[in-house]
Structure 1
């Protein structure tokens, strides 16, 4: 009798397990049929984890290029069980980024934010974002940019000294990614913190090490974040950034702020501009002061996010500019003719160099440093002119690289032709290296000024040449939204030689 009872209990447990597994399979298949039911094409999702794994084991640029060609300008994917819509149609991009901005006020969706990240401009939305954006925008006016320009000129001169030393080596091998990473670290340290770092030495500083860890993607972390239920990510407090390294940058910024407040002389850098915008101590009769001034916490967050956003993106742009100029010597010589005849150390003159602008823009088109950007729906939404409906909290990805390489948008999109930006403006919403709409990159002018000055200085003094190691079939870093190449080698040669 006891044996029969135990057998029945085992059968019951087995039956429950089978029912649970069957229900789980039914639930997952139902969730993963969301786009099919709406007639939206897309890659087949993997059980439970959706298309998250492909985003991590393949490079996003190539992955979205393939999806774009195969499924069209609208295709659906899945983050775990959650639907994710990808849009390359320019009219819909206009609707999402501008016309219906109130529906899509947020950028990259974050499930959990560490305390430092909570005030990141890139993470805020709604009234908090609008207030922060309006307070930070004056930081990048022409007058402020001219003051920053003086600091950047000093960085370019230090870069020239490092290049001179490099050019005297037997091979003159030039690793642009490594070099521009160090250069941009110098720019950030001086323009943000008025700090001098020995960036061209063989040893990386602690600051550089922390930066590297912050901007380097962690595939395992991202796989977990996008695959498991959001409540679990929140409960475990798992952020997209390594919290330890973010906190190091926060502590450094706080220490510098306190030190700066005790200085009698002012340094015209980004940190000082933010400090000058800090809220004063308010009494009961002036509680609204914080609405028009920055708090200490906001200054820290603004400083840290500028450091993160500006470090890798500008370095990547300069890396690709060198690569394209090395492979297109005719373009490089035409650029040399323009910059050698101009006073590139003058802010207004530099801003008016037409061919330099075209080279930068064409580099941003063919090799955008950031290959996608996102918006998140804050209410249910039906795409105009379609029957496609998305629920609240659905992520929308705009595949920048695929749009820039679409022959409907650019003739011969795989060819490097700076002239296309001289003779004809790109069609609206087909050139998106800095995003689009009210959330377009706030530091765009600073990044372009920096890139133009140092690239003009480089080409004016050196030839950038390919070597047998300069491959046309490049491999890229995976698990990141940045277009970062592996082991890219070139050679530099002094113009006077």
Structure 2
């Protein structure tokens, strides 16, 4: 779906899964997120009680987002939240896969070769991606099991209902193709959302005034600090949603340049700052831009590098220059589910925990974390990657 160039074919493929992410459908996601959050809180409590070293929070968030999207898409998950290392070996394998991004872009035949190479051979020459190869086999096995299930409700509870019942040609309904779209959804939902959640933890804890205002809003909307908020409790919270919007602006989960090609006629842009100046993009001419090119533009965002959620409340028109989930017909199909997942995770954590001030209580504290080194994008591997040698955002949890 994501790499389909021809507009009409891509629209058909997108429509087959779009219903799975409609406002009505993602209500089924709420209990999955809440159950996963409950386990996440337990793991944080265990960390605090054990007096263990600071938590690399990105490992926990990756486990959380992966379990959520797999459970939603397949009805089953890898239960990374139960593993002592939160599935670190699997995520290291996916990071290595993304690290091959530039090779695959400039040498497309390499991507085709990787897809067609037998799994046992890939594992032999690249043992670091072994768990990813195993998970790919798991996805295909789930496709076959769901397709052949005598229980019609089994299909309805997964992402495959829309695809199998669509008007897509038979070639788009093979086991391999059926596994490809959910695999894309998994990749697009676990690492990207986890990266933005990790950045949010840094920005909120590094800006006490933001945390104080966020907690005040959450205390009003969620009276019980031990509860896990519902969609209805977090959907309409203006400051929480402004925090999420500002985090995505500064730390978008996808760094890859988003490409557009005027198909049949040129596109003409008038320069508003210089009268009479215009730019013409000829038909068939490819234009691409990373979200950060726009999100850090000082002509659009005042003090663009500063984390300032209030800007979205003061000037809602800024949304016109927001590219965090792409735009138009190529926009992210799962952006509503991603926003809600981030809202519940952040709402739960910051309703329960405060910033550490040397006093007892449930608190969180950044540990040896620098934004430029551990949060900001230093490399574009489709997903943003921090500086070499970074240990990520680390947090000390106290009860």
TM-score grouping bracket, smaller chain normalisation: 0.7 to 0.9
1:234 aligns with 2:109: yes
Identify if the C-alpha distance between structure 1 residues 243 and 152 changes in structure 2 by more than 3 Å, giving closer, same or farther.
farther
> What is the SS of the residue equivalent to 1:216?
helix
The equivalent residue for 1:202 is 84
CA gap 1:299/1:240 in 2 versus in 1, 3 angstroms = closer
Counterpart check, 1:259 vs 2:137: no
Question: Which of residues 64, 71, 94 is equivalent to 1:214?
Answer: 94
1:136 and 2:17 matched = yes
1:66-116 Cα distance to aligned partner (Å, 9 max, x none): xxxxxxxxxxxxxxxxxxxxxxxxxxxxxxxxxxxxxxxxxxxxxxxxxxx
TM-fit CA distance, 1:457: 0.7
When residues 382 and 278 of structure 1 are mapped into structure 2, their CA distance, relative to the original with a 3 A threshold, is closer
Say yes or no: does 1:149 pair with 2:30.
Answer: yes
1:343-358, aligned counterparts within 5 Å? 343=222, 345-358=229-242
Q: CA deviation at 1:454?
A: 1.0
Name the SS of the counterpart of 1:139 in structure 2. helix
Q: Unpaired segments of 5 or more residues in structure 1?
A: 1-119, 281-288
TM-score by length of 2: 0.77
Partner SS, residue 266 of structure 1:
helix
Where do 1:91-490 residues align within 5 Å? 120-170=1-51, 173-200=54-81, 201-203=83-85, 209-210=89-90, 212-216=92-96, 222-223=102-103, 225-226=105-106, 233-234=108-109, 237-238=112-113, 244=119, 248-260=134-146, 261-262=148-149, 264=151, 266=153, 272-275=158-161, 277-279=163-165, 289-290=167-168, 295-297=173-175, 298-343=177-222, 345-377=229-261, 382-385=266-269, 386=278, 392=284, 395-427=286-318, 429-463=320-354, 465-467=364-366, 469-474=368-373, 476=377, 478-485=379-386, 486-490=390-394
Distance 1:218 1:460, change over 3 A: closer
Query: Separation in 2 of the partners of 1:325 and 1:236?
Result: 39
Stretches of structure 2 lacking an aligned partner (at least 5 in a row): 120-128, 223-227, 270-277, 356-363
Bigger mean CA deviation after superposition, 134-143 or 249-258: 249-258
Structure 1 residue 456: Cα displacement: 0.7
Report the Cα distance in structure 1 between the residues aligned to 2:236 and 2:178, rounded to whole angstroms. 33
Backbone CA RMSD of aligned residues: 3.4
Residue 425 of structure 1: how far off its partner (Å): 0.9
Aligned residue pairs, count: 359
Distance (whole Å) between structure 1 residues aligned to residue 91 and residue 70 of structure 2: 11
Determine which structure has more spread, i.e. the larger CA radius of gyration: 1
Tell me the TM-score normalized by structure 1. Answer: 0.63
